[in-house]
A and B are shown apart, each in its own frame.
Chain A
């Protein structure tokens, strides 16, 4: 399953929506962070915010178009959601044109923000190329329910194990400096069934997660642990379809005792697919 909005509590088509994502034990996208509790991958929280925005825009556009790919000015990671948490998703549409939706969003748990998206943009493309619009209409009707429901109503059953965000092959690795890695999309990945049924492509959120984790390994090579706290100027301009080999290059721009910056660029056959920057801190969730 690659749908992350379990319920929509409030919905003003094309303008604003409030939704919920429950983090449950069977969730594919929870990870263990050392000795701490298992948490939902941060990029999936961002994906949920984007999907909530997509629902409200698709509804406003009568399911003729949908947002795909993305540009995100900034993703701020300020906390995590653990199993049992219900994440409140709050997405505000700043504007919608015939070509694109522009939005910002924040996810929180018990009133504390855990992730925010600023200055996000999603190009709008004909929905028929990606989904069955009637299926999406039915799904929206199912998840639009006022009043928060219990997470137990949303068990994740049958998900085939945790998602592996690592690259298939690391071609080069110079600790603290730079790395190059490859990911091949086989077509058998379970998330492709929903992203998207008619045009399976690698979600930006999963690619970003892989990049943030590789960057973490690169920075942590000297023994000090660095945690991703933000990504900036993230842009995915092309689809990554099954059968292709994506090459990711990460370069550390700055690393000191408290924080670090790096830049990443992903290509398929030499063409730019995704670029961006990431910020890390030795203290999780703490900005410089």
Chain B
């Protein structure tokens, strides 16, 4: 399974949650900057994805997984990403265009980087995780 398989449905849900037409949604668009997503929209979006794909998306999952292998101090310093943290985040959010990352960016602004593709990756990962758990 890859993100192409889930993208049509993810795009439909994102368009519905953010009150846009489906054809206005770009796969690498920023949900916050381009589609005005706010915190309540992310709650709504995660819930709709969980319902549609019958998965559970752990809260704070992106930040936790992005920092895997780094201590809290190595990842961020006074609420801002360290150089190491930034590189780790870039690797994890590889679908996000490079120019949207800024040095020393605030950890609280990580959601501004999320794109529809970010959520496709999460859905695929969780679907594969649940398939794996079912086969174990």
Contacts and interface: CB of A to CB of B under 8 A. Distances in A.
Q: Do A and B bind each other?
A: yes
Nearest to B59: A99
Contacts of B40: 69, 71, 121, 123, 235-237
A260 to B, nearest CB: 18
Contacts of A263: 19
A123 B19 contact: no
B38 A237 contact: yes
Interface residues of B, number: 12
A236 B43 CA distance: 12
Interface string B28-42: 000000001011110
Contact of A123 (B16, B43, B59): B43
B45 to A, nearest CB: 10
Looking at chain A's contact residues, is the secondary structure mostly helix, strand, loop, or mixed?
Answer: strand
B47 A272 contact: no
B40 to A, nearest CB: 4
Interface in A92-113: 97-100, 102
Interface string B16-56: 11010000000000000000101111011001000000000
A273 to B, nearest CB: 10
A97 B42 CA distance: 14
Contacts of B17: 233
A236 B40 CA distance: 8
- Residue in A99, A123, A272 whose Cβ sees the most chain B Cβ within 10 Å: A99
B57 to A, nearest CB: 10
B41 A102 contact: no
28 contacts: A69-B40, A71-B40, A71-B43, A71-B44, A97-B59, A98-B59, A99-B43, A100-B43, A100-B47, A102-B47, A121-B43, A121-B47, A123-B39, A123-B40, A123-B43, A233-B16, A233-B17, A233-B19, A235-B41, A235-B44, A236-B40, A237-B38, A237-B39, A237-B40, A237-B41, A238-B38, A272-B36, A272-B38
